[in-house]
Structure 1
């Protein structure tokens, strides 16, 4: 199982002790603001189990993120294949952190490490990132990562019901070589 270490963070496989804070994160309306309905504890656990299976199968996926100094679980970051039915294909970077972890630069730090893994270890030619048009915090992270967007790539996510979360923006990054 691949682990990724940054100066402050450890991206690692999921542990049983992550499930309760993961469920709490996904029951937080602010964390879920741009993601859709709150998750039940059972739904949150099922998603963590899927992340574990993806990591075991592919060698990449959504790693649990912990703060190295404290061992505190703060969310996830990683890479995922774009779901079928989307208007594009490829591998997408993603992250989700507990509200208490916002504003510390953790999302950018974790995502930067994920991009390096995708380009340097997997050999990806491009990594995508997607968020709702209203999620300015995630878009700011994408910008700090050097990802770019083209309004012509904006789309209505077919997996999201009609409403304010359906309009999405697509960011792209190629390796810095």
Structure 2
């Protein structure tokens, strides 16, 4: 069960995964306007759409105890992106479900931050919120995100689907699905060294 209205904060060796702050708005807007970051989404976000996403993420956290959290680098307090757990609103063929997702600013790619933060979110999902399964999905063309999913120990399903929020005929409409069960997570944790999350509830 989740810890109710108290905010949850996750710590890894290099990162803090936390609720959103007002100061996150500017760097998150820059991230969402970057065509490199949004390459596998239908279009970049303008400022209004970016701010609205923060509002939705914060509301989801307030309602469920978890959501897409902000990610901060410990060494300098820099906002580097978001990671977390979400109940999708789109009518997906495998709903109801809880997904894990991430989005990092391009200057922080290639350092293992996405995997490190995502492992913390997975641990929270299974050990704090009592989830039995977590899924992740992305466009078939998005090989970088699929590589992260595989590093997390998630298994790709044979099932593919057309995302209902992507326009028909768009090259990003076709998506794949990855899954991780609680049992698989336990096995992955036993085989993993380093990057463990210290989950703190304040």
**TM bracket (short chain):** over 0.9
Distance 1:30 1:43 in 2: 17
Q: Which residue number corresponds to residue 99 of structure 2? A: 92
Structure 2, unpaired ranges of 5+: 1-6, 187-202
Q: Residue 56 of structure 1: which of 48, 62, 65 is its match?
A: 62
After superposing on structure 2, the runs of 4+ consecutive aligned residues of structure 1 that deviate more than 6 Å are: none
- Scaled by the length of structure 1, the TM-score of the pair is 0.97
Match of 2:200 in 1: none
Matches within 5 A, 1:1-177: 1-89=7-95, 90-151=97-158, 153-162=159-168, 163-175=170-182, 176-177=185-186
**Maintained 8 Å contact 2:90/2:165:** no
- Return the offset for 1:82: 2.5
TM-score with structure 2 length normalisation?
A: 0.85
What number of residue pairs does the alignment pair up? 176
Deviation per CA, 1:127-169, whole angstroms, max 9, x where unpaired?
Answer: 0001000000000000000000122x11111111021110001
Q: Over the residues paired in the alignment, what is the CA RMSD in angstroms?
A: 0.9
Whole-angstrom distance in 2 between the partners of 1:84 and 1:12: 25
